[in-house]
């Protein structure tokens, strides 16, 4: 959060010339803006499949981890249980997943993807790969790996 001089902005100065010293060294806002760009492009990408960022991720996790509990999924997604319920409701209503009773624990439900769910996952994953090529075109593979690593460190700090 270093700050330098504070130049006055002329009446019709271009935004590019605005001093953002405070914000430039404020990583939080960079994460925010980058996230916004990524999410907007991703949601546009997933719209034809009837999916959003969260629903896509939830479906992918259920496909890869059959028998997942709702609370485990919520933790993996980093969202609160109440917010996940409606997401699971949506996926179930569209017959992409099932909520199966667990004999060992009658409070819990085991989540399983249906055939349709697996098919939609595969199709949408392909689209997401295209999206990633587009959004990360200016960044190298190594940079993305480093990015993800740092983001995970930050995340585990919360």
Partner DNA sequence: TATTGTTATACTCTATAACTATA
Partner DNA sequence: TATAGTTATAGAGTATAACAATA
Binding site for DNA (CB under 7 A): 32, 36, 40, 43, 52-54, 69-72, 79-83, 85, 88-89, 99, 104-109
At its nearest, how many Å lie between DNA and the CB of residue 7?
A: 19
Q: Per CB under 8 A, which of residues 74..93 are in contact with a copy of itself?
A: 75-76, 78
At its nearest, how many Å lie between a copy of itself and the CB of residue 90?
A: 18
- Alpha-carbon distance 21 to 29, whole Å? 12
Instruction: Give the tokens for residue 57.
Output: 């991720």
- Alpha-carbon distance 109 to 101, whole Å? 5
- Alpha-carbon distance 144 to 36, whole Å? 17
Instruction: Give the tokens for residue 149.
Output: 């690593």
Compute and round to an integer the Cα radius of gyration of the chain: 20
Instruction: Output 85 or 154, the one with its CB closest to a copy of itself.
Output: 154
- Alpha-carbon distance 87 to 38, whole Å? 21
Q: What binding mask, one character per residue, do residues 14-53 give for a copy of itself by CB under 8 A, x or -?
A: -x--xxxxxxxxxxxxxxxxxxxxxxxxx----------x
Instruction: Output 145 or 152, the one with its CB closest to DNA.
Output: 152
At its nearest, how many Å lie between DNA and the CB of residue 19?
A: 18
Instruction: Output 80 or 143, the one with its CB closest to DNA.
Output: 80
Torsion-angle region of 93 (φ positive above 0: left; ψ -120 to 50: alpha; else: beta) = alpha
At its nearest, how many Å lie between DNA and the CB of residue 140?
A: 26
């Amino acid at each position: 959060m270093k700050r330098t001089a504070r130049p006055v902005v002329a009446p019709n100065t271009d935004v590019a010339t605005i001093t953002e010293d405070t914000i430039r060294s404020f990583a939080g806002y960079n994460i925010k803006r980058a996230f916004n760009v990524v999410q907007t492009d991703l949601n546009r990408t997933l719209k034809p499949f009837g999916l959003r960022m969260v629903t896509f991720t939830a479906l992918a996790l259920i496909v890869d981890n059959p028998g997942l509990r709702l609370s485990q999924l919520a933790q993996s997604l980093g969202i609160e249980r109440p917010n996940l319920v409606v997401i699971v409701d949506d996926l179930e209503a569209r017959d992409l997943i099932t909520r199966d009773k667990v004999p060992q624990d009658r409070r819990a439900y085991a989540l399983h993807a249906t055939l349709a769910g697996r098919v939609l996952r595969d199709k949408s994953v392909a689209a997401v790969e295209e999206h990633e090529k587009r959004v990360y075109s200016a960044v190298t593979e190594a940079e993305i790996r480093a990015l993800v690593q740092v983001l995970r460190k930050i995340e585990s700090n919360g």
